[in-house]
Chains A and B, each alone.
Chain A
């Protein structure tokens, strides 16, 4: 932290979006979640970014791979249920072809999540990521989100692989 502002006092979704812009992310591909709704609208309003709204997370993954193939730094914004529904595309396309993708994932179904029906997805998320061999981290609420996003983006590029950053409501809900 360089600003001297306690992390808890910063507007973390703004910091996350500012980091994507600073790092040159030109394309974001998303399937909405209630926590992601407003930040997706903000991305749509960014002249330096193009938001593509997909109908399904596996489709979103392929769009993201195509955008990265075309030379655009690309992020995905999805709910963790999307990790479950994109499995085939993840192993057969993103991992097989080694596409560096930043996957910003709302981590639903944790004890902090007030919505009961997300629990099964929360329980499956980290075992699934380990099973896929997909590099990931859970955002630390005690530290600013911007450097964590940058570290995740850097890891994705330097490992030539997707990297999943699991985010809490405060990280992404505007």
Chain B
């Protein structure tokens, strides 16, 4: 899979950073998916997944359900999808209109050193369509990604864009501490999520 001919994750991220609405919510999977995004476009509306392989996409589905008025973009890996392929069925069934799924297809488990995938060449867009997400396609260049992203963010989703990507095995050093609790609290503060008021203060509710 290491051919040197595919765009890099950074190539796609530059397009994403340029094309994203300012109030969009971004969920990134473990490894460089999070580290590089934090380096290129850190924002309080980013939710960085520290580990939890395969759970970025389902988390983003839940987030999209809870925040239907905000655009949600999730960056997930091909190895992660293989690990939890059932989530494609859930995506098709729940079908959040505000969700755009970017699948980095680099053919390896990049975050753990580049080990081979069980099948590095699956047509993940075809799988997504078969699982119920009609708007799913393969993308092989940053230019094509720019056009596809623009279309996806301007229309009802869900959309799945499978990005043919060169593996990036060198770990990017993020510019901030990706502390999980800080990430969560910063994110929830940025979106104005209701706060829980303890029962002792007459609450026991989100307010």
Contacts and interface: CB of A to CB of B under 8 A. Distances in A.
A92 B56 CA distance: 12
A24 interface: yes
B66 to A, nearest CB: 3
Contact of A66 (B58, B181, B191): B58
A96 B194 CA distance: 21
Contacts of B187: 69
A50 B205 contact: no
A158 B62 contact: no
B51 A52 contact: no
Most buried by A among B52, B181, B192, B193: B52
Interface string A79-106: 0000000001100110011111000000
Nearest to A66: B62
B181 A63 contact: no
B62 A63 contact: yes
A62 B66 contact: no
Interface in B156-207: 180-181, 183-184, 187-188, 191-194, 196, 198-199, 204-206
Contacts of B43: none
A71 B55 CA distance: 18
A133 to B, nearest CB: 16
A165 interface: no
A67 B62 contact: yes
A152 interface: no
26 contacts: A23-B204, A24-B205, A52-B61, A52-B90, A55-B87, A55-B89, A56-B86, A59-B87, A63-B65, A66-B27, A66-B65, A68-B66, A69-B184, A69-B188, A70-B63, A70-B67, A71-B192, A71-B193, A71-B194, A92-B51, A92-B52, A93-B51, A96-B50, A97-B180, A150-B204, A154-B204
